[in-house]
Amino acid sequence: MTYRYELPMKVRDYELDCQGIVNNANYQHYIEHTRHEFIFAHGISFTDLHERGIDAVVARLTMSFKTPLRSGDDFLSCLNVQKEGIKYVFLQDIYRQSDHQLCLRAKVDIVCLVDGELVRNVPELDKLLEE
Amino acid sequence: MTYRYELPMKVRDYELDCQGIVNNANYQHYIEHTRHEFIFAHGISFTDLHERGIDAVVARLTMSFKTPLRSGDDFLSCLNVQKEGIKYVFLQDIYRQSDHQLCLRAKVDIVCLVDGELVRNVPELDKLLEE
Amino acid sequence: MTYRYELPMKVRDYELDCQGIVNNANYQHYIEHTRHEFIFAHGISFTDLHERGIDAVVARLTMSFKTPLRSGDDFLSCLNVQKEGIKYVFLQDIYRQSDHQLCLRAKVDIVCLVDGELVRNVPELDKLLEE
Amino acid sequence: MTYRYELPMKVRDYELDCQGIVNNANYQHYIEHTRHEFIFAHGISFTDLHERGIDAVVARLTMSFKTPLRSGDDFLSCLNVQKEGIKYVFLQDIYRQSDHQLCLRAKVDIVCLVDGELVRNVPELDKLLEE
């Protein structure tokens, strides 16, 4: 599979739970951080957008947990993005580096608010859709 | 709507992000904690199960974010559970207490592993399905 | 020992680490939340203060970890406050409810910034010092 | 100042609080992760030690917050370690990369338990003290 953006990351021990695997909520952190880094690589910052009254918010999130990450695991957090109606849809997969095993498959629907009102397009985010 | 279990909770300021709303990953914490408290109310503890080799793990999670919670908000975390094939499916909703606004609607598919092997039923969890 | 404020709390399983005990950073969350609830009980909110340009920030923090909290533990988060020069000093202790064992002893030095400038006194916080 | 170990890290937006700065508890995560990476660089893993009955636990922690980290900041997490009686003492500083500003100064006292009993020395950790 081909991705628009790939971010190498590593499990930190404070992310583990008492079962010795990464607590599920941290995958949401991982994929949020990946989106922010992807966007930042296009010269855009979520916090800058927020200060200008533009908020990109997650409307819906689906995550399938395939293989748990463990202490010390290196992983690759991968991303594609497409437009579906009003939504910017991020398809995000996480792979364990040691054996390329798929760990997480996620779909994140993002909508944009400008001064609290839903808008169809934000030029800064439309840039992300171009190859 | 009627729920099997309802847990009153309150936003903690460290859960807010730089937009002044609860960071999405915390909703995953909220609903995980609600499941654990629900199960604990039936005399079962996830950590005890884990020590006996029984792991209930999230296979799939869908969350729809409706209304953001903010600093100081009281909320009610509600839960239903049903069996669908091999899965224990938790339907979990979060309402803001001040106006009963729906904040989150989630569906959590849980499967059980005994000593690492997928099993269809765990008697301790089947108890949760009885009215 | 007598405290100005006591907040009953309970360990949530997502706060545990792979040793089965509460990860140390969560104690910082516990005592921050306790300060915010204490201040809120006096009709003040940290987020309101922030929006008015008043930021109470932690300058220094000392924590002694005495007894680890575990899954399901109820605990009491206790607080005293005093003024030392420019600082508002919070003395914060956490006790396990089951046996009143001391779990954490913390000292938190807070200073106040108004529009980014260090100030000696904030009337809203001085109210906290009165018996 | 010279350090035994330096780890480059970057602020992730989910670590920010509603003041737009890194929430203090995350610094505890940063320095814990730095210790674990330092130790891992010496071929030791905290989780492995734990599974062999050896637990290195934080007994006391002092943190001075100097300059807040913000969205997108790169920082360097630095570490020295020395033995003081029964304790392994980690001196940990965090610097903002852009201007080498000191952000955090921390002192972390660690003691070791073997099968729950306090011990004076753990050979695996003594290795860390050698230049």
What is the dihedral angle through the alpha carbons of A46, A48, A51, A54, rounded to the nearest 10 degrees? -50
DSSP D68: -
**Complex ipTM > 0.90:** yes
* Mean pLDDT, all residues of chain C: 95
Say how many CA atoms lie within 13 Å of B125 toward its Cβ.
Answer: 26
Q: Cα(A126)–Cα(C85) distance, rounded to whole angstroms? A: 53
Cα A50 from chain centre: 18
Q: In terms of Cα–Cα distance, which of B4, B2, B7, B3 is closest to B75? A: B7
DSSP C129: G
The predicted-structure confidence for C61-85, as pLDDT tens digits, reads as follows: 999 999 999 999 999 999 999 999 9
From A58-62, B96-100, B115-119, D4-8, the region with the lowest mean pLDDT? B115-119
User: What's the mean pLDDT in D68-90?
Assistant: 97
pLDDT at B101 over 90: yes
Q: Which of A117-126, B82-91, C49-58, C119-128: highest mean pLDDT?
A: B82-91
Q: Cα(C49)–Cα(C57) distance, rounded to whole angstroms? A: 12
Size of interface C-D (CB pairs under 8 A): 54
In three-state secondary structure terms, B66 is coil
Q: What is the residue extent of each domain of chain B? A: 5-129
* Mean pLDDT, all residues of chain A: 95
- Fill in the amino acid letter for B17: D
Mutate to test the interface with B, among D17, D19, D26 (most CBs of B within 10 A): D17
Q: Is the dihedral of CA D28, D32, D37, D38 positive or negative?
A: positive
The predicted-structure confidence for B51-71, as pLDDT tens digits, reads as follows: 899 999 999 999 999 999 999
For chain B, helix (H) and strand (E) counts, in that order, are 3, 6
User: Residue C1 has what pLDDT?
Assistant: 85
Q: Cα(D54)–Cα(D77) distance, rounded to whole angstroms? A: 26
Touching subunits for chain D (3+ Cβ pairs under 8 A): A, B, C
Size of interface A-C (CB pairs under 8 A): 24
pLDDT at A90 over 80: yes
The predicted-structure confidence for A18-35, as pLDDT tens digits, reads as follows: 888 999 999 999 999 999
pLDDT at A112 over 90: yes
The CATH code of domain D5-129 reads: 3.10.129.10
Residue carrying structure tokens 């590593």: A10
User: Residue A131 has what pLDDT?
Assistant: 67
Q: Which band of pLDDT confidence, cut at 50, 70 and 90, is reported for residue C131?
A: low
CB contact under 8 A, C16 and A17: yes
CB contact under 8 A, C28 and D32: no
pLDDT at C126 over 90: yes
Q: Cα(C90)–Cα(C63) distance, rounded to whole angstroms? A: 12
Q: Cα(C80)–Cα(B30) distance, rounded to whole angstroms? A: 29
Q: In terms of Cα–Cα distance, which of B119, B125, B123, B114 is closest to B53? A: B114
The predicted-structure confidence for B2-25, as pLDDT tens digits, reads as follows: 999 999 999 999 999 988 899 999
Q: Which band of pLDDT confidence, cut at 50, 70 and 90, is reported for residue D131?
A: low
